[in-house]
Chains A and B, each alone.
Chain A
């Protein structure tokens, strides 16, 4: 991603300035972005309300029938996947069975070294995945090759696929059963919204697991 920050800080010129002044300007900039992030998260949860429920109901059905949630992603999205699993552990009213395919350095490096980076999740799905499981794929760009390979593998194997993605979902959008897309051009704001969407999805799956709704 190319994102130039220079234009965001026009007050930072070439001339030396009092550090206190600069810090005050940076504080104002941080406050604006903090508000922007919270606004995007609130708007995203409203816009995705129906799609979140449409994804949560079948996911809860899979879990109720013995399926397990398998979360994956790269980089910051790898940490989103692992955080999703922690949220599943802590979910109320019912915790959800989940594992992170992004939290296994021995497996990940073995696959990347021996075969290639594009298979690091698909090969793990070949080992772990069963029909009736649920894949949660995080991709800020929506275009990560190893994430696309994983969801393709999952769908062929009867696994429900849900993506939480930025940039309109990218290539992922048409390759998954449910795509929860965040509409922003900033990688960081997208990731923050992904975190909020993930928390909401966990809560909804847990709720529908406890009280089955119409599906």
Chain B
């Protein structure tokens, strides 16, 4: 067994507390084992400790999570995704979350995920079992409430939506409607914007691009999170 992922849990808890402080809803998703998402949501909505504040948390069904988040989440919301670190579908949604303006926390077991975006990653180790996963999100819940009760911790600036694929002030965008010319629609930080795609054409709906000054300057060939099992 690897060392306890305690420091990553503490950091993720502060991220969650800051999101709640700014009015976020927590979206819980555990596509390979849906009861973890259900359990996480009930912890936050109906705290086991009397007097703790109820927090808005919603379960995402295993299928259709990207569409739910794209259309029903608000910019500033936060996703906790639970699953194996080599689950390509899981990592794809976590990687797209910044385009939708959504913070993302990945609670991973099994293969260690290789991450190169701003997602907060808690890796529980290759040998983590279901009880370990339950313990991890119980601690995430508890530490989030502890952070929420420390006002001086909560007023930190919102996490910048920087993209590590671009050293400039680029933002991650997800192509919504690709049309020839200068008038395509791209979702950036949760807002649909008219973006010039001519530098990165051909594009299609769902492609991820780096947007700078109203122009898509790079098309990402792979999701911004690379699974551990990918070359």
Contacts and interface: CB of A to CB of B under 8 A. Distances in A.
Given A30-B143, A83-B35, A1 B138 contact: no
Given A17-B152, A27-B9, A30-B4, A5 B131 contact: no
A41 interface: yes
A15 B109 CA distance: 37
A contact residues, range: 35 or more
Nearest to B141: A188
A91 interface: no
Contact of A26 (B33, B138, B143, B152): B143
Most buried by A among B46, B134, B136, B152: B134
B49 A3 contact: yes
Nearest to A6: B149
B150 interface: yes
A199 interface: yes
Interface in B29-74: 33-36, 38-39, 42-43, 46, 48-51
Contacts of B180: none
A108 interface: no
Contacts of A192: 131, 134-135, 138
B163 interface: no
Interface string A81-93: 0110011000000
A1 B4 contact: no
B42 A30 contact: no
Contact of B6 (A16, A30, A38): A30
Contacts of B11: 23
A79 B4 contact: no
Given A86-B33, A195-B131, A5 B7 contact: no
Interface in A169-215: 187-188, 191-193, 195-196, 199
Contacts of B34: 82
Contact of B130 (A4, A19, A22, A195): A195
A27 B138 contact: no
Contacts of B136: 34
Given A3-B48, A9-B146, A30-B9, A79 B42 contact: yes
Interface in A59-90: 75-76, 78-80, 82-83, 86-87
B156 A19 contact: yes
A34 B142 CA distance: 12
A31 interface: yes
Contacts of A30: 4, 6, 9-10, 139, 143
Interface of B, secondary structure class, is helix
Given A76-B43, A83-B35, A23 B7 contact: yes
Given A16-B152, A34-B6, A79-B42, A41 B131 contact: yes
Contact of A199 (B10, B48, B130): B130
B42 A5 contact: no
Given A19-B153, A22-B150, A75 B10 contact: no
Given A75-B42, A187-B48, A192-B138, 20 more contacts: A5-B145, A9-B146, A19-B14, A19-B153, A26-B10, A26-B147, A30-B6, A34-B139, A37-B131, A38-B132, A41-B131, A76-B42, A79-B36, A79-B38, A80-B39, A82-B35, A86-B35, A192-B135, A199-B130, A199-B131
Interface of A: 1-5, 9, 12, 16-17, 19, 22-24, 26-31, 33-35, 37-38, 41, 75-76, 78-80, 82-83, 86-87, 187-188, 191-193, 195-196, 199
Interface of B: 4, 6-7, 9-11, 13-14, 33-36, 38-39, 42-43, 46, 48-51, 129-132, 134-136, 138-139, 142-143, 145-147, 149-150, 152-153, 156
21 contacts: A1-B49, A5-B142, A5-B146, A22-B153, A26-B9, A26-B10, A26-B147, A27-B6, A27-B9, A29-B143, A31-B4, A34-B135, A34-B136, A75-B46, A79-B35, A82-B35, A82-B38, A188-B135, A191-B134, A192-B134, A196-B129
